Amino acid sequence: MDNRILIFDTTLRDGEQSPGASMNPAEKLRLAVQLEKLGVDIIEAGFPAASEGDFDAVSKIAKKLERTEIAGLARTSKEDIDRAWGAIQHAAKPRIHIFIATSDIHLEYKLKMSRDEVIQATVDAVRYAKSLTQNVEFSAEDGSRSDRDFLCKVFEAAIGVGATTINLPDTVGYAVPEEFTDLVKYVIAHTPNLNEAVLSVHCHNDLGLATSNTIAALNAGARQAEVTINGIGERAGNTSLEEVIMALHTRPNYFALSTGIKTDQIYPSSRLVSMITGIMVQPNKAIVGANAFSHEAGIHQDGVLKNPMTYEIMKPETIGLSTNKLVLGKHSGRHALRSRLKEMGYDLSDEELKIVFKKFKELSDKKKHLVDEDLEVIVAESILRTKDIFQLEYLHVTSGTTVLPMASVQLLINGRSVQGAGYGNGPIDAVFENIAKLAGTESELLRFSVSAITGGTDAQGEVTVRLKENGLIALGKGADPDIITASAKAYINGLNRMEYLKAHPAKDSVVL
């Protein structure tokens, strides 16, 4: 059996279904470029039938990338398949990914179909997709809760009409490793033509077992892992790419499995996803969390100083976490900035560099030294965002122990300047109240959180907000050395994301 594992990244599709984690086309394209640099084999770029925005983003990614397979998700309808093919047809390596549920509970309550009808729908869909491209994947939604023999029968039928990859999802995160191992082995033993296709697994993290289940499945014979950066995704998330990769990388003596992932691009990829989505990585997150390579206990520190491997099973440099960062300041020139940005994966045009350099100089006047995280924020705010409806032009706040907090705000709304002033319970509340009044929004603020991007009292404050309006949830993110300004930027970013969601409504949300 081939011990090469294919990595199927679904950050742009399943990962984007994290509440509020919507991305605009520019952000999706930037992330896709980074995923190709990371070395993933397949990128599931989206669900083209879900919205015009998703179709356009998938199309742009398909045309841009040169090496990675680009997959478009589709249900078993001809319309979905045509839409998926329309978006990915220009890719160097296109893949149509078809799914239908196979568990009895889904058949009875969601699909209202018999088992025979599901098999027929599978055969018709895969056969039609095969007429468009040779690369077709079939997924049995809720496979881990399906009748085993029926599951094998569906897989056999799909392969029989041309499916080249068969995916076994643990859609609701119900499986445990021993059980999932047994299921994978059963599918391999009881699907007669499985040798004609690659067996894939797609696990969710509802019980915190997504990585364990995925690794168990790979050890049992599956040869494709469906994952997301930082484990983001619907509900509790998906299998974390970085956890699977580093488990295989760190324990080759046990697994004897390989991938094409460039591990030194793991941390930059993690940072980019966090920056784009506004979803912070928890400090104790394996591999990429802020505490992953930190040691506070005296005994641990003493051991690490003598030999890092006493308490570290991985080197930070292996995942691209550099301990020797080039620090830039107000005297640094364009060449140094371009060079550092290129090392970070940002290959900017002259016009883009001009914009970023201006922002860089502005921040340098407020902050003595700038590091990678500062540069990431500048690029995100200057280049990655599409044209915003709301822009902050002016902000003045008064607050203290003996005065009533008041904010004066001036916004640019679709190119028109508007201003207002008012009071609040605190300076940030005053800012938010006035922005909301000027923007005419009915959004509800669900969450507000603050963190420092780097150490030091002059560090940029990073603010994340979560907004809700008419069932839509949008995350907003802003950064600035002044925490009140950062809060205003985050709130405005959230409002712009909300407007994007309104303009590009998704018809369906899909979880495999």
Q: Lowest mean pLDDT: which of 161-165, 293-297, 409-413, 432-436?
A: 293-297
CA–CA distance, 256 with 237 (Å, rounded to integer)? 27
User: Which one of 258, 277, 296 terminates a domain?
Assistant: 277
For residue range 318-356, what is the model confidence (pLDDT) as tens digits?
998 865 455 677 778 888 888 888 877 777 888 888 988
- Asked whether residue 378 falls in the same domain as residue 244, the answer is no
> Does 298 map to a domain?
no
DSSP type of residue 271 = H
- Asked whether residue 343 falls in the same domain as residue 427, the answer is no
User: Which one of 346, 367, 384 terminates a domain?
Assistant: 384
Question: What pLDDT does residue 292 have?
Answer: 81
Pull the structure tokens for residue 101.
């549920």
Q: Lowest mean pLDDT: which of 63-67, 224-228, 335-339?
A: 335-339
For residue range 494-512, what is the model confidence (pLDDT) as tens digits?
999 899 888 877 766 676 8
- Asked whether residue 367 falls in the same domain as residue 233, the answer is no
> Does 124 map to a domain?
yes
Measured from the Cβ of residue 310, the count of other Cβ atoms closer than 10 Å reads 13
> Does 310 map to a domain?
no
Q: Is pLDDT above 90 for 380?
A: no
> Does 317 map to a domain?
no
- Asked whether residue 342 falls in the same domain as residue 222, the answer is no
CA–CA distance, 207 with 100 (Å, rounded to integer)? 23
Question: What pLDDT does residue 325 have?
Answer: 52
Question: What pLDDT does residue 381 have?
Answer: 78
Which one has a higher pLDDT value, 283 or 265?
Answer: 265
- Asked whether residue 245 falls in the same domain as residue 347, the answer is no
Question: What pLDDT does residue 300 have?
Answer: 47
For residue range 443-453, what is the model confidence (pLDDT) as tens digits?
999 999 998 87
What percent of the chain is predicted at pLDDT more than 70? 93
> How far is C-alpha 106 from the geometric centre of its chain's CA atoms?
27
Helix (H) or strand (E) holding 137: strand 136-141
> Does 344 map to a domain?
yes
Q: Is pLDDT above 90 for 39?
A: yes
Phi, psi of 332 (to 5 degrees): -75, 145
> Does 493 map to a domain?
yes
CATH number at residue 448: 3.30.160.270
For residue range 198-220, what is the model confidence (pLDDT) as tens digits?
999 999 999 999 999 999 999 99
- Asked whether residue 349 falls in the same domain as residue 405, the answer is no
- Asked whether residue 338 falls in the same domain as residue 485, the answer is no
**DSSP-derived pairing of the beta strands 165-170 and 416-423:** unpaired
- Asked whether residue 72 falls in the same domain as residue 158, the answer is yes
H helices within 365-419, ranges in order? Answer: 372-379
Sequence-distant (6+) residues with CB within 8 A of 228 are 9, 10, 11, 14, 15, 237, 238, 239, 240, 241
Question: What pLDDT does residue 303 have?
Answer: 56
Flag whether the pTM goes above 0.95: no
CATH number at residue 103: 3.20.20.70
Residue span of the structural domain in which 341 resides: 334-384
Question: What pLDDT does residue 330 have?
Answer: 75
- Asked whether residue 379 falls in the same domain as residue 496, the answer is no
> Does 318 map to a domain?
no
CA–CA distance, 10 with 459 (Å, rounded to integer)? 33
- Asked whether residue 352 falls in the same domain as residue 484, the answer is no
Phi, psi of 504 (to 5 degrees): -130, 65
pLDDT band at 301 (very low <50, low <70, confident <90, very high): very low
β-sheet bridge partners, residue 251: none
* Number of domains into which the chain is organized: 3
For residue range 452-463, what is the model confidence (pLDDT) as tens digits?
877 777 788 889
User: Which one of 277, 292, 321 terminates a domain?
Assistant: 277
Pull the structure tokens for residue 471.
């069932």
- Asked whether residue 344 falls in the same domain as residue 417, the answer is no
- Asked whether residue 375 falls in the same domain as residue 478, the answer is no
> Does 299 map to a domain?
no
